[in-house]
Amino acid sequence: MKDMFKKYGVVILISAFFIGIIVYFGYDQTKNVIQGKKSNGEDVIFSINNEDVTANEFYDLLYSDLGIQAAYSQFEKAVVNAGVEVTDEMKAEADEYSANIIANFQQQYGTGYEEQLVTALKSLGYSSASDLNTYMLDGLKKNALMEDYVNANKDAVYTPYAEAKQPRVVSHILVSMADVENPTDEEKAKMDSVNAALAEGKAFTEVATEFSDDTGSAVNGGALGFMDADTQYVPEFLQAALALEAGQTSEWIKSQYGYHLIVCDATDYETLATYPDLFTQLTTFAPETQPKAVWAKAQELGVDFKENAELKAALLEYMGISE
């Protein structure tokens, strides 16, 4: 079942969303210091929200010569840190996600897990295992920035994605079968019991908890959460789930796992926006959305490149933004 249902969706989201952030290619960083501008004796690269980013801070993260994508990464970090307030909820989520990641690494690598964890974090621009929580918190802040931008530009950003990918929240009840082409009397009886319970007016969530053989979702009332046309479900399930309107329940759908009843819980933006997967999929559908969100926030904060027009032009070109 693991190929069909996402057991650890949120952890995978946060872990995978920022993988590949640093790509190495040439860019002459030595030209980008603002001549004559100092902060605590150090040259200033740029300032945002009245806070200066110095050459040493900039170059330490760029490892002197990593290219414009790494420059963008540092710029993005400055914007996110200045523009997104950390909430108690974010802190709690970061703690939870960090604990889950550590548990997964311990399970996979045993006593040597910390070395593997540090290697992974270093590839993302962090330096030690103690930075894991910071990494998770940075991811949550980026999610918040993206969410604010999409909310403010819903028609331009969300509508094209929704029309193309049909995002929704779904739940299901699975009656698994040894041979889907030849259900046993016991398996047929279980399907009849599900039908009878629903006909009696029992809530779908209650019936799923009682009868569904997908134990991962049954404990949550059958909830599978967010999905869209790109979700990696088996074709029969995917097609049936996408055909439903909000509130509708499918007929029994046969797949390699058995028979499913699928309910579409929601298709409205307000509900979908409570799932971080939505913003990840939006970024996949329209990769330019995230840098646009960063640039919009930078302008709101009053980003100032001083006389460093070359760095600004390079960043705008990289982000695909024209002024």
- Band (40; pLDDT cuts 50, 70, 90): low
Let me know whether 143 and 170 are in one domain: no
277 is a domain residue: no
- Choose from 13-22, 95-104, 205-214 the range with maximum mean pLDDT: 205-214
For residues 52 and 120, membership in a common domain is answered with yes
Q: Is the pLDDT of residue 8 over 50?
A: no
Q: CA angle at residue 226 from 236 to 216, to 5 degrees?
A: 75
Whole-number pLDDT of residue 166: 98
Q: 176 with 250, same domain? A: yes
Q: Are residues 173 and 195 in the same domain?
A: yes
- The reply to whether 170 and 73 lie within a common domain is no
Within 110-255, where are the H helices? Answer: 113-122, 132-152, 154-165, 185-199, 204-211, 215-218, 235-242
Q: What is the pTM of this model?
A: 0.72
Residue 160 lies in a domain: no
Same structural domain for residues 6 and 63?
yes
- pLDDT tens, position by position, 129-176: 889 999 999 989 998 999 999 999 999 999 999 999 999 999 999 999
Cβ–Cβ under 8 Å, residues 85 and 91: no
- 119 within a domain of the structure (yes/no): yes
Q: Find out whether 172 and 212 touch, Cβ atoms under 8 Å.
A: yes
Residues 121 and 25 in one domain: yes
Q: Are residues 16 and 90 in the same domain?
A: yes
Residue 242 lies in a domain: yes
* Full residue range of the structural domain in which residue 50 is found: 1-152+287-323
Asked if residue 32 and residue 100 are part of one domain, the reply reads yes
pLDDT for 74 equals 82
CA dihedral 203, 209, 210, 216 (to 10 degrees): 150
Give per-residue pLDDT as tens, 177-221: 999 999 999 999 999 999 999 999 999 999 999 999 999 999 999
Say what the alpha-carbon torsion angle 106, 112, 113, 119 is, to the nearest 10 degrees: -170
CATH of the domain at 236: 3.10.50.40
- 175 - beta bridge partners? 259
254 inside domain: yes
Is 161 inside a domain boundary? no
Query: What total number of domains does the chain contain?
Result: 2
Q: Are the beta carbons of 262 and 249 closer than 8 angstroms?
A: yes
Contact 167, 267 (CB under 8 A): yes
Same-domain pairing of 129 and 184: no
Q: Do 131 and 228 lie in a common domain?
A: no
For residue 158, is it within any domain? Answer: no
Distances (CA, A) of 72 to 19, 78, 129, 257, 294: 15, 10, 24, 45, 10
The answer, yes or no, to whether residue 252 has pLDDT greater than 90, is: yes
Count other Cβ atoms within 10 Å, centred on residue 209. 16
Residue 125 lies in a domain: yes
Co-location of 127 and 225 in the same domain = no
